[in-house]
Structure 1
Amino acid sequence: MPLVSTGDLVADARTAGRGVAAFNVITLEHAEAIAAGAEQAGSPAILQISENAVKFHGGNLSAIAAAAAAVAKSSSSPLSLHLDHVTDPELMRAAHPDGFSSVMFDASKLPYGENVKATADAVRWGHERGIWIEAELGKVGGKEGEAPLDAHAPGVRTDPTEAASYVSDTGVDALAVAVGSSHAMTSRTATLDHELIAALTAAVPVPLVLHGSSGVPDNEIRAAIAAGMVKINVGTALNTAFTGAVREYLTTHEQGVDPRKYLAPAREAMAGTVAGFLGLLKPQE
């Protein structure tokens, strides 16, 4: 199936009152697992490649993007390609020829006024090329290299009034908000502020994005979608499944040297994780 548009997937999910999941791609196996999990669940999904993943690949976006796009195009599920947590405008501009329909431009660490200016510039660039732009307001925290951040500390969460102004001033297509989750959580213990999610939904005209969903329990994700959250980002949960399967294989096969022997179960474990998350996002009967 041809690559689809992230904007269309998000809009369709929002209209249907469900969520759409975006899963982080680090290796080819991640992309293959996301496609397989989406097919198992009979659901669309977003394959997202972060700036950190690009750095892992030596700064070469094109190779991992081409691999992810090829996997997506051979899948029977509708899949899109998204460039995530981009702070470098040059990397953002590289997305256009590499098949991305969307970019999350992250200026959230800048002072508010600078964030607005940088994001508005990114939106102008993206919209001139038909690229859907997501941005972040608030402090989700937890990414590698960042100082520890309490997701419930004063000043961390996104303010609805400020969010309304931010969306109006930047023209973004979606807004990632800080509502109690954190990146890189390996246990699903986060508690979200559902009243805040509902207030943000009422305050801004664009779909909301939940980052750090790997650390959010099933019931919290369902409640967040009911309150208005649409795009659900998942990364660490895939890595936990991947690493667990590799560790289990190597523990019982200490002399093993063929990476296919442990990458296959790792890919299968990630596919199961993808299918599980996608099942959460469907409307409950």
Structure 2
Amino acid sequence: MSLYTMKELLQDAYAKQYAIPAFNFDNFDLLMGVFEGATEAQSPLILQITQPAIEFFGIENVVDIVRNEAAIRKLPTALHLDHADNLEIIESAIKTGFTSVMIDYSEKDFADNARMTQKVVELARPFNVTVEAEIGQVGVTADPLSCSSISTDMMTDPQAAITFKEATDVDVLAVSIGTIHGMKVKEMQLDIERLQEINAKLGIPLVLHGSSGAREADLKKVINYGITKTNVETELRVTFRNTLEKMLAENPNEIKPRNIMKHVREAIKQKVIQRQTLLKSAGRIAMSVKS
């Protein structure tokens, strides 16, 4: 079984108004917890990893493990490079077997962002690899427990999104509507009206970064207006650490890693099922599976 492109998975989600959570991972136990959750939920899966995590994990290890687990579980899975700004890393991911890449020049000016995105699109097309880019800027918090907000001038301008899509022919676009990377508290205010306008003008799958801090009610809303992928990292990290600390505190004499980590994997699994159910991707494995 070969991996799916992210575009394949998101086109179905866009047409049927559901979203696929994209889970970041940087170690084996977290990855397996995600796989176990998606398998039980019978949800298509997007796995994503950043450049620092690739350096920790090993790029060939990432591709081999994800491909093997997806085949064993017969799980429609895309492997995505998240938040990359280095063409060498992006090209390596494409040639190694990633089926989707993100070029993130959102902090640069519009012209540089469009130029670099177009380069990556040209690089990815011959390999049938999906390209995600970002227009506008998703916030980053220094205090994950604070109730932060971003200014409207950081958010995605609908007309700029149209111009960007026409200039780059990007497959998937991440938009800024008020989310913030790294938030633990679910108190962010999302600009749903802005999202509605972007979706009406663009008509392509949209991505919500920083979704760990979004209210569940808002996540249910955004899937009606083009959001087909929501990134989840902070919530998994918090679950991983809290579960590990609790396990070690309750079992101070346990030294077998498999006995310790099985509790972490179970907790991750339950978080994955919860998010996939919320976004209505659970039970979607009825779609055809590649041989």
| The two structures share one fold, judged by TM-score above 0.5 | yes
**2:241 maps to amino acid:** T
Q: What are the within-5 Å matches in structure 2 for residues 147-186 of structure 1?
A: 151-186=149-184
One-letter code aligned to 1:5: T
Give the drift of 1:149. 11
Corresponding residue number in structure 2 for 1:51 = 51
CA shift for structure 1 position 150: 5.3
CA contact (8 A) 1:49 1:65 kept: no
The aligned counterpart of 1:3 is 3
Q: Return the alpha-carbon distance in structure 2 between the equivalents of residues 72 and 84 of structure 1.
A: 19
CA distance in 2, matches of 1:39, 1:140: 30
User: What is the identity, as a one-letter code, of the residue corresponding to 1:105?
Assistant: I
Secondary structure, counterpart of 1:74 in structure 2: helix
TM-score normalized by the length of structure 2: 0.90
Please tell me whether residue 238 in structure 1 is matched to residue 264 in structure 2. Answer: no
1:51 to partner: Cα distance: 1.8
Q: Which residue of 184, 194, 198 maps to 2:192? A: 194
1:105–1:133 CA contact under 8 A, matched in 2? yes
Alpha-carbon shift at residue 261 of structure 1 (Å): 2.3
* Deviations, residues 78-111 of structure 1 (Å, cap 9, x unaligned): 2111111111110100112322111111111211
2:128 to 123, 127, 130: 130
Q: Distance in 2 between matches of 1:79 and 1:194?
A: 29
Residue 2 of structure 1, CA deviation: 3.6
Deviations along 1:143-183, one digit per CA (max 9) or x if unpaired, are 78xxx995431311000011110111011001001101111
Question: Is contact 2:139–2:150 with CA below 8 Å preserved after alignment?
Answer: no
**Which residue does 2:204 correspond to in 1?**
206
State the partner residue of 2:287. none
1:283 CA drift (Å): 8.0
CA contact (8 A) 1:208 1:229 kept: yes
**Consecutive aligned runs of 4 or more in structure 1 exceeding 3 Å deviation:** 148-151
Hey, what does 1:91 align to over in structure 2?
Answer: 89
The amino acid across from 1:229 in the alignment is I
CA shift for structure 1 position 271: 0.7
| Cα deviation, residue 186, structure 1 | 1.4
Unaligned runs of 5+ in 2: 283-291
Q: Which one scores higher on RCO, CA 8 angstroms, separation ≥ 6?
A: 2
Q: Which amino acid aligns with 1:50?
A: T
- Aligned residue type for 2:9: L
Equivalent of 1:105, from 98, 103, 106? 103
Residue 225 of structure 2 corresponds to residue 227 of structure 1: yes
**Offset from partner CA, 1:106-137 (integer Å, 9 cap, x none):** 11121111111111111111112211100001
Note if contact 1:31-1:71 (Cα within 8 Å) is conserved in structure 2.
no
Q: State the match for 1:38 in structure 2.
A: 38
Give, as a single letter, the amino acid of the residue that structure 2 aligns with 1:254: P
Hey, what does 1:252 align to over in structure 2?
250
Secondary structure, in 3 states, of the residue corresponding to 1:90? helix
DSSP-derived class of the 1:133 partner: strand
Q: Report the alpha carbon displacement of residue 258 of structure 1 after superposing the two structures with TM.
A: 2.4
User: Contact 2:20–2:281 (CA<8 Å) still a contact in 1?
Assistant: no
Alpha-carbon distance in structure 2 between the residues aligned to 1:271 and 1:131? 28
Deviation at 1:197, TM superposition (A): 0.7
Structure 2 CA distance, aligned partners of 1:20 and 1:62? 25
Q: Counterparts of 1:35 and 1:175 in 2: how far apart (Å)?
A: 25
Number of residue equivalences:
279
CA distance in 2, matches of 1:76, 1:160: 38
Check 1:143–1:36 CA distance in 2 against 1; reply closer, same or farther (3 A cut): farther
User: What amino acid sits opposite 2:8 in the alignment?
Assistant: D
Q: Which moved more, 1:215-224 or 1:253-262?
A: 253-262
Q: Percent identity?
A: 32
Quick one: which amino acid aligns to residue 130 of structure 1?
N
Measure, in 2, the Cα distance between the counterparts of 1:70 and 1:77.
Answer: 10
CA RMSD, 1 decimal: 2.0
> Aligned partners of 1:72 and 1:222: how far apart in 2?
27
Between 1:73-82 and 1:17-26, the stretch displaced more is 73-82
Candidates 78, 81, 97, aligned match of 2:79: 81
C-alpha separation in 2, matches of 1:253 and 1:279:
32
Task: List per-residue Cα deviations over 1:238-276 (Å, max 9, x = no partner).
Answer: 111111110101112223332222211111101100000
